[in-house]
Amino acid sequence: MSSTTDKLKGLANEAVGNVKQAAGKATGNDRLVVEGKAQELKGEGQRTVGEAKDGVKSVVDSLAGRK
């Protein structure tokens, strides 16, 4: 996946996770809160991977003199 795709999927998972957490808290559904937190963390990981890919590309481009 491209870095942009990773970041977008990560942001989407974070958003859905936050909504699940809020719905779980509002309804007293602890399982939904936990699922939401897990999805939020998955999204944070995906976003971090995308940012890392951007960082690596930037370093490679700098070393290759393509900045």
- Report how many domains make up the chain: 1
- Return the pLDDT at 65: 84
What six digits make up the tokens of 49?
């991977």
Q: Check residues 16 and 57 and name the one with the higher pLDDT.
A: 16
Could you give the CA distance from residue 38 to residue 44 in angstroms, rounded to a whole number?
10
Could you give the CA distance from residue 33 to residue 26 in angstroms, rounded to a whole number?
10
Rounded to 5°, the CA angle 17-45-38 comes to: 35
Rounded to 5°, the CA angle 53-7-54 comes to: 20
Is 65 in a helix, a strand, or coil?
coil
Range of the domain at 29: 3-63
Q: Please tell me the pTM assigned to this model.
A: 0.82
